[in-house]
Amino acid sequence: MRQEQHAQKERDQAEVDYRAQLEQLQIKYVQLEAEYRTLQITRDSHGHSDHLEHSTSVDPGVELNTGQATDQSLCDTHTEQLEALMQELQANHVS
């Protein structure tokens, strides 16, 4: 009887730990998703101003917009983080 109670207590604690971890991952996912949307808006607004700059430049092919490249790499990083979190959430949900 004591072993059953102990095993049940361990299962209950594992469930509490799982739910806490899942909640933290969901919070992190929402934060990253919000940051990603902000970066997309920033990138889009830079893209519009870049178009104006490029149309007046002598050779737009030579210009490299480092701000846009940085924004793109940040978006890529956030996309990778979001995908990793989704995989982790799905893995935890299955477990």
pLDDT digits (tens, 9 = 90+) for 53-91: 444 444 444 444 555 566 667 777 877 888 888 888 778
C-alpha 11/C-alpha 61 separation (Å) is: 62
C-alpha 95/C-alpha 70 separation (Å) is: 37
What angle (nearest 5°) sits at the alpha carbon of residue 33, between those of residues 24 and 94?
50
**pLDDT mean across residues, the chain:** 76
Q: 52 versus 38: which is more confidently predicted?
A: 38
Other CB atoms within 10 Å distance of the CB of residue 36: 17
The pTM (predicted TM-score) of the whole model is: 0.47
CA torsion 41-47-49-50 (nearest 10°) is: 150
Domain ranges of the chain: 2-51+65-94
